[in-house]
Structure 1
């Protein structure tokens, strides 16, 4: 998705000569009196509306360009690009590797594995990808938790049960025994998928392990940061240089969040989110977004479901892949879902006693969902506009962490105006 300057989404590879050219182009447009250029200069320059465009110099345009890209000054932008050049050079030199073979890189997916290798990292890689943002996450002993999560994953994502179980057992076991590694680096971004997994890992990090955290919620030069997987290898080297040690405060936060996440009430998670999480700053916003997956007090929809129905009402029937892309790029305030997770949402909306969306039949494999055309039903329109309630209409049972959403009875819901969860009685259809 382009930003207001027309730049596409970026991988973080900032080029100094390109930025100089952009500053000159902005200055030229300002001198010509172009309204958009004048607005850009004022919006991003430190002086704002106090800046006199007639007296503006190239340095003013450079300052605006730097701040637009996320830097405090042109000097900071210049220093950053120089570090990128050095990192790119070091990538080709094994002796300049940033880590050692006894470093373990931990990520909630496989998206960084090849990029870290291209960046010149020598360490091992562990994927820990149990998606706690969907399905039941209950307060159970670890073997029972793994079994329950494997059952959900197999059913939700159409995997063989034995495959799902073995994968989780392997990941949990690898995390429990880190004795072979001198350093463990956790690579996470700011969405609820990442942050809930991070909370679990912080809560269960074995004592005595030398661990570091790379936790990212924005990247200079990137118009819309969605995740670490979009970044160039040399950018990852810079983030590694800025890693911070995992201290007791992070461990304590992880334990508190995990306890609250697995509770049958969302109140503890809401309290943590409201009070803030300075030990891991992006976590509070991720928790707040997670809570908005509770059914709304207005119509019983999660935020993801609401945004999906709104897109269908505005744009009409469309392939599920296009719907997912539009949701992620334009509507979702804090994207956290992969496409397989979104198909779970669509399946639920297309089922229940009164489906809210319609889709042609498909085969067993969820890859077919990408091409299925999804449309809004009359019931979906009624629920979208608050004239009916999805939970009262027999929505499928689901979970938000340890909170079971069981239609037909009292359940926890999200009060958007009050920004809080509330326990509500059963609603009539």
Structure 2
């Protein structure tokens, strides 16, 4: 019987795939590649400590655990051999998954003599589901219906993914901006994902990225309970693949900066990795500050006041000036 390895995003879907009865082994890829510094190989000895420190500071993930997990999954990828007949990549339409897909295809790009068939199943919708967030929504029966619907990866797709990952991991955004003007249809969800990535840059208008701007827009309407706010932003920006930890991190950026743009009714740290939600979490409310209103309206500039220290792919955003920003009236990035 052919030996199949399925590579998937997240343990929740991995468990459902296992329960669906589809044959094969499962490798869960545990990474959040739209956060922190990245490179051509995520287990690189210089890069990995930087990523581990970033994830610890932002989400409370123990550095040793993060590094060990990264090394284990990279070693599993390197260990693919003639004993494996087919590798199937299961990924969704959003930025989170499309970056992961491009990374894995890029890593496999140079293995021209690989002994196994490389296949992909990439979805942006599913019959009967109005808002498709991802594969984790599906029941085991729905997952079982996808058996053998995956298709072989084309050479052109491997090359494109390698180009994309090279551009995303570059220290400046020129390559990626140029690539976004080209035909990316070999990976049909890629252009929307890269547009979402572009929207993560602070704007020329007020120094906010698109996610921050939308959060403040909703809070200008009224203060919100924190869990419904997360659900609403996730629905409106489904192309990002926002998880709860990522969302809490975005809120903390706006709350704990030098001059806060929002406040939370409970003056406590938001949950981090491995922590249960506080018992009263559903009662926590988020509201916008007076400065947040001014910045949202473009009367003040977030970066000029609070600065930034973050990464978009390989691009470091640091300080109050000479930071890469996006033009909201046209396309393009400027360092100002």
Fold match (TM-score > 0.5): yes
**Mapped partners of 1:310, 1:325: distance in 2:** 15
**Mapped partners of 2:182, 2:155: distance in 1:** 19
CA contact (8 A) 2:16 2:139 kept: yes
- Aligned match for 1:204, one of 107, 110, 117: 107
Q: Secondary structure at the match of 2:287?
A: strand
Which structure shows the bigger proportion of residues in helix conformation? 1
> Which residue does 1:239 correspond to in 2?
146
> Which residue does 2:94 correspond to in 1?
191
Q: For structure 2, which runs of at least 5 residues remain unmatched after alignment?
A: none
**Cα offset for 1:101?**
7.2
**Cα offset for 1:193?**
0.4
> Which residue does 1:379 correspond to in 2?
291
Alignment CA distance shift 1:296-1:240 (3 Å): farther
> Which residue does 2:261 correspond to in 1?
356
Q: Report which of the two structures shows the higher radius of gyration computed on alpha carbons.
A: 1
- Aligned match for 1:142, one of 11, 25, 44: 44
**Mapped partners of 1:368, 1:357: distance in 2:** 20
Alignment CA distance shift 1:101-1:356 (3 Å): farther
Deviations 1:379-412 (A, max 9, x none): 1111111111111012331111111111322121
**Cα offset for 1:365?**
4.3
- Aligned match for 2:247, one of 342, 351, 375: 342
Further displaced range: 245-254 or 267-276: 267-276
Alignment CA distance shift 1:365-1:225 (3 Å): closer
**Mapped partners of 2:203, 2:25: distance in 1:** 43
**Mapped partners of 2:231, 2:20: distance in 1:** 29
Q: For structure 1, which runs of at least 5 residues remain unmatched after alignment?
A: 1-99
**Cα offset for 1:328?**
1.2
Alignment CA distance shift 1:379-1:368 (3 Å): farther
**Mapped partners of 2:296, 2:146: distance in 1:** 42
- Aligned match for 2:5, one of 94, 104, 107: 104
> Which residue does 1:172 correspond to in 2?
74
Deviations 1:49-101 (A, max 9, x none): xxxxxxxxxxxxxxxxxxxxxxxxxxxxxxxxxxxxxxxxxxxxxxxxxxx67
For normalisation by structure 1, the TM-score amounts to 0.71
**Cα offset for 1:214?**
0.2
Deviations 1:327-383 (A, max 9, x none): 112x21524110001111111111222111112322584355855422111111111
Further displaced range: 307-316 or 140-149: 140-149
Q: Which 4+ runs in 1 deviate beyond 6 A?
A: none
**Mapped partners of 2:40, 2:5: distance in 1:** 28
For normalisation by structure 2, the TM-score amounts to 0.90
**Mapped partners of 1:131, 1:158: distance in 2:** 14
Further displaced range: 114-123 or 397-406: 114-123
Deviations 1:107-154 (A, max 9, x none): 121122222223212311111122111122246772223332222222
